[in-house]
Chain A
Amino acid sequence: MRKVKRRALVMSAFFTAVVAAGVPAFSFDEDEEGEESEEEEDDDSPAWFAVTGGDVYTGVGGLLRGATVLAKNGVIKEIGYDLYIPEDAEVLDASGRRVYPGLVAIDASTRVVEGTVPGPAREEAVELEGDGHDHGLGFEPEAGPELPYQLDQELFDEADDHALDHDEQLVAAFEAVRESGYESLDLDAAAGFVGAGNDLGDEFDPFNYNLVLTLSAGITTVGQSKGVVKLKRYQIEDVVMADRKLISLSWSTGRAKESLRDKFKGAARYVRAYRAWEEEKKQNKDLPEPSRKGVDSTALKILSGEVLARFSNTGRNDLLEIARLAQTYGFRPVFDGCIEGWTVASELGRAGASAIVTPRTRTAKDERLQREAGSSIENAALLYEHGVQVAIIPGDKTIDLMGLAGRDLMHLPIEAAFAVRGGLPQDAAIAGITSVPARLLGVDHRVGTLEVGKDCDLILTDGDLLHYETFVQVTVVEGKVVYEKDKEPYWSHIPDLAPAKAE
């Protein structure tokens, strides 16, 4: 709310300028807008992009039927009616479609952004079959940045000698493929190994089909362990949006708890001393600055709000302990999982907590307990009701085509729909996959809602985003169409729902 107010103030300052450009029914300006527009005016050929005629769900409370979203160089310039659209603008007709902000997955496996390296070609796989069952079928991640070059002479001469077994090998190989589930092998570990400690942007694969499938789910921004990545296609430039903001902290053993408490205690003491010093310095200039020696820098960053503390605890007692810790030292915890959060929702709300929930999680109650325990479909709803910011993520944070389908990143909106089933308001559920994760990732100034000044990342759907039959038809990232359902081989065979009906 505070943010919106601030924007509203800024809006009044720039109102005249905006009016001159059109008559926006809905227009919030970012602070930097003034500077930016001056810079952009120097640009010879700005890339204009307009989405027209769709029902625009802005994510800040407004639903604008048949409105136009106009973007310049990938940034939303205006949202409203009867806008002047420059002649050279690329226009995307969204009539009959709903327009939502691009979704934000707070966590995604590295394979979404780095892709995987496909296995060796078919025959090679077969010829290598004799080498070992798991080998050569093409799924073994290569260790390090190595490429399988042509294999050595002897190996293949040997294979030639066994030419008679070729058919047998072929059958065995394909059966093994079927059994192992082609898509199931998790290459993330290997990808992580390759890129350990390196720059996210240097590993980005803008062509990999996991990324395309992620875009097909409407997701345009993903959190990674190393930072936040915009899912751009066809390019590797400017994809890293921010460094890691969520810092995982351990709250498990007594020792870990004690150590964490001590760190926060030290950091809090330092912050107090520093503030006191700042005040006293006005009178006494020679006063020495308090020493930072022995003060934990991460704890300090958490207390200053620069990064967020993330706890993977799910049990009630842990949640309460952490909430108290947070209140004692003055930071806002992020609970990942938060399965029993619904039993202590008011305490978490008081602590200013955020929660990353998976509504479909099922954990049985410990029957020895008198109190409420275990998972609840109402978790998200109850947390939200008590003021906890709720972000929603599926149980499987990758693109997974094997086994029990429907619980991976491709079903992020479905996961949010389950929260609605538990009583979460529709708006809050959508916020849980857009603006809330954007805020927790520290990129809410760029993504999460459709607002003037933010990136033009949006999706067009053929129905309500949270309806199970709905498909994302078009995904736009920074004013460029990056996914069209009809043009990709993955879902083009599924017909559109009837054009969105009036509610």
Chain B
Amino acid sequence: MVLNLKHMSIAIAALLAIQVPVLAGDALAIRVGRAETIANGTVEHAVILVENGRITMVEQDLPIERGIPILDRPEWTAMPGLVLAYTRAGLGGGSASMFEPQRSAAKELYPASSIWETLRESGITTVGLFPTGTGVPGQAVALRPMGKTPAEMILSESAFLKVTLTSDASAKKRLRDGFEEADEHVEKEQKAREKWEKDQEKKKKKKSSKKKDDDEKDDDKDDKEEKDDEPKVFVAPEPDEKVTPFLRWRAGELHAVIAIRKAADYLHLLDVLSDEDVKFDLRLPMRSETDIYEVADKIAEQGCRVVLEPRTAWHPGSRQDRNVARELSEAGVEVVLIPQYDSTSSFERWLSDVGFIVKMGLDREAALRGVTLAAAGMLGLGDRLGSIEAGKDANLLFFDGDPLEPTSNLEAVMLEGEFVSGEVDL
């Protein structure tokens, strides 16, 4: 097999410049007993070829070209690195209500924190860090738990816009106001454009007697050509910093993760967003009781992912367990599973908690997706990581058994081609 160097892009080169993996430029073949690829199911006797921090090939019993070092671990099971898509790991909580859509969690990033090592050791290779607060408190940042500066860590500056919506008029109004302000801006821009066009026309009429060769200009913003002291190009008024995220959300450049508490909140959310065509996922903090299954079909219809903790809740007013993750998944909703709490012990038992709700009926594939590819998708990184596939970042976990089995140990963690946890000898 020939090493496929064509896929090496400038982006990787830039990435390598800061990352300097142990095997930089080199290739490594990892032969494991089985690989949970997520993208293509379970592959037995899989060989994963890792090159320059990326996976270049995954195949059953792939013959390995001479010269490529082999890590032969038939007793291991590989899976993609865990994606902790919704967390405040390493940072404090807070629930002040605000409307600051432009805020970024990146500002809170502290690369020297010991939390990143904790995360890596727990198999978490991608993190979605959200800003504190409720209402519209800002945008989350996606990062790798590794690096000396925020710039080294950050994968995506605005992974999602965080929004909370409860069933009450003020929360609904706040969200509506956000869109209204965006509307106002669009209107303002349009008016400014019309005014500008009129002015241009007037000028043209004036000048037409003198100059015939005056170029017809439309609203091409990039055109910097100037013949008079007046700009020939329409300059749109700068939107307010709080309006920009809503404009981007509408334009599909940003998506939101909207926290709700109960089924009714979802109906009220749909009520607010009824006139908008915006993408959003849902965050449902698991409570002692839940009624979210009442709207599972509606959520599936909308195509939202739902972020929740891997645990069961009671049917309201009873002590009857309901596996919400399973019910949502069966309704066709993609579930994103996060640890119970932002605590070291929760990170460590994350996968066994997931194993518990799989035991309680959640589809195993859906559960594994929920901690990898679905979570990556929620951060807008679904094309880049979250599965064992050629072309994806080599974020890999190696277990000595089934990852969802509480007795299995995490033997090694690979982050972009580099072993960051566990002792591995070739």
Please tell me which one of the listed residues A124, A194, A202, A489 contacts residue B268 in the complex, with CB atoms under 8 A apart.
Answer: A202
Pair A160/B344 contact, Cβ less than 8 Å: yes
Binds A, one of B39-47, B90-98, B387-395: B90-98
Residue A207, interface by CB 8 Å? yes
Residue B402, interface by CB 8 Å? no
Please indicate the chain B residues that have their CB under 8 angstroms from the CB of A114 in the complex: 167
Please indicate the chain B residues that have their CB under 8 angstroms from the CB of A157 in the complex: 343-344
Using known A-B contacts A151-B342, A153-B115, determine if residue A119 contacts B287 with beta carbons closer than 8 Å. Answer: yes
Using known A-B contacts A117-B261, A147-B166, A195-B168, determine if residue A152 contacts B95 with beta carbons closer than 8 Å. Answer: no
Pairs A–B under 8 Å by Cβ, sample size 7: A127-B341, A145-B166, A146-B95, A157-B344, A202-B167, A202-B172, A204-B264
**Chain A CB within 10 A, most for which of B93, B286, B313, B341:** B341
Please indicate the chain B residues that have their CB under 8 angstroms from the CB of A127 in the complex: 341
Interface string of A217-238 (1 = CB under 8 A from B): 0000000000000000011100
Residue B31, interface by CB 8 Å? no
Residue B13, interface by CB 8 Å? no
Interface string of A110-121 (1 = CB under 8 A from B): 000011011111
* Measured CA separation A145–B132 after assembly (Å): 14
* Measured CA separation A159–B263 after assembly (Å): 31
State the Cβ distance, B1 to closest chain A Cβ, in Å: 45
Please indicate the chain B residues that have their CB under 8 angstroms from the CB of A275 in the complex: none
Pair A489/B320 contact, Cβ less than 8 Å: yes
* Measured CA separation A138–B374 after assembly (Å): 30
* Measured CA separation A43–B90 after assembly (Å): 58
State the Cβ distance, A133 to closest chain B Cβ, in Å: 18
Please indicate the chain A residues that have their CB under 8 angstroms from the CB of B409 in the complex: none
State the Cβ distance, B323 to closest chain A Cβ, in Å: 13
Binds A, one of B16-24, B289-297, B378-386: B289-297
**Chain B CB within 10 A, most for which of A138, A152, A194:** A152
* Measured CA separation A463–B313 after assembly (Å): 36
Pair A122/B171 contact, Cβ less than 8 Å: no
Interface string of A183-200 (1 = CB under 8 A from B): 000000000001100110
**Chain B CB within 10 A, most for which of A122, A149, A154, A213:** A149
Residue B170, interface by CB 8 Å? yes
State the Cβ distance, A430 to closest chain B Cβ, in Å: 28
Residue B288, interface by CB 8 Å? yes
Using known A-B contacts A118-B287, A118-B289, A490-B317, determine if residue A147 contacts B261 with beta carbons closer than 8 Å. Answer: yes
Q: Decide if the interface of chain B is mainly helix, strand, loop or mixed.
A: loop
Pair B93/A207 contact, Cβ less than 8 Å: no
Please indicate the chain A residues that have their CB under 8 angstroms from the CB of B290 in the complex: 118
Please tell me which one of the listed residues B262, B291, B311, B315 contacts residue A121 in the complex, with CB atoms under 8 A apart.
Answer: B311
Pair B343/A153 contact, Cβ less than 8 Å: yes
**Chain A CB within 10 A, most for which of B93, B313, B344:** B93
Pair B95/A234 contact, Cβ less than 8 Å: no
Residue B318, interface by CB 8 Å? yes
Pair B134/A147 contact, Cβ less than 8 Å: yes
Residue A206, interface by CB 8 Å? yes
**Chain B CB within 10 A, most for which of A119, A146, A163, A208:** A146
Pair B287/A117 contact, Cβ less than 8 Å: yes
Q: Residues of B within 8 Å of A, CB-based: how many? A: 54
Given A149-B95, A234-B294, A489-B318, 16 further pairs, Cβ under 8 A: A117-B261, A117-B262, A118-B289, A118-B290, A121-B288, A145-B135, A149-B132, A151-B342, A156-B341, A156-B344, A160-B344, A203-B167, A204-B264, A205-B262, A207-B294, A207-B295
Pair A156/B288 contact, Cβ less than 8 Å: no
Please indicate the chain A residues that have their CB under 8 angstroms from the CB of B413 in the complex: none
State the Cβ distance, B127 to closest chain A Cβ, in Å: 13
Pair A208/B93 contact, Cβ less than 8 Å: no
Pair B95/A236 contact, Cβ less than 8 Å: no
Pair A153/B287 contact, Cβ less than 8 Å: no
A120-167 residues at the B interface, CB under 8 angstroms:
120-125, 127, 138, 144-157, 159-160, 163
Please indicate the chain A residues that have their CB under 8 angstroms from the CB of B416 in the complex: none
Pair A145/B93 contact, Cβ less than 8 Å: no
Q: Residues of A within 8 Å of B, CB-based: how many? A: 48
State the Cβ distance, A145 to closest chain B Cβ, in Å: 4
Pair A152/B264 contact, Cβ less than 8 Å: no
State the Cβ distance, A262 to closest chain B Cβ, in Å: 35
Pair A153/B264 contact, Cβ less than 8 Å: no
Please indicate the chain A residues that have their CB under 8 angstroms from the CB of B95 in the complex: 146-149
* Measured CA separation A146–B286 after assembly (Å): 14
B322-346 residues at the A interface, CB under 8 angstroms:
338, 340-346
Please tell me which one of the listed residues A122, A146, A194 contacts residue B288 in the complex, with CB atoms under 8 A apart.
Answer: A122
Please indicate the chain B residues that have their CB under 8 angstroms from the CB of A329 in the complex: none
State the Cβ distance, B352 to closest chain A Cβ, in Å: 14
Interface string of B129-171 (1 = CB under 8 A from A): 0001011000000000000000000000000000010111111
Pair A150/B87 contact, Cβ less than 8 Å: yes
3 tightest A-B CB contacts, nearest first? A156-B343, A198-B169, A205-B264
* Measured CA separation A114–B345 after assembly (Å): 36
Interface string of B60-96 (1 = CB under 8 A from A): 0000000000000000000000000001111111010
Residue A209, interface by CB 8 Å? yes
Residue B259, interface by CB 8 Å? yes
Among residues of A, the one whose C-beta sits closest to the C-beta of B164 is A147
Please indicate the chain B residues that have their CB under 8 angstroms from the CB of A125 in the complex: 288
Please indicate the chain A residues that have their CB under 8 angstroms from the CB of B172 in the complex: 202
Please indicate the chain A residues that have their CB under 8 angstroms from the CB of B342 in the complex: 150-153, 156
State the Cβ distance, A352 to closest chain B Cβ, in Å: 37
Please indicate the chain A residues that have their CB under 8 angstroms from the CB of B88 in the complex: 149-150, 152-153
Please indicate the chain B residues that have their CB under 8 angstroms from the CB of A124 in the complex: 340-341
Please indicate the chain A residues that have their CB under 8 angstroms from the CB of B320 in the complex: 489
Residue B112, interface by CB 8 Å? no
State the Cβ distance, A271 to closest chain B Cβ, in Å: 35
Residue B3, interface by CB 8 Å? no
Pair A156/B166 contact, Cβ less than 8 Å: no
* Measured CA separation A191–B267 after assembly (Å): 18
* Measured CA separation A148–B134 after assembly (Å): 10
Pair A205/B167 contact, Cβ less than 8 Å: yes
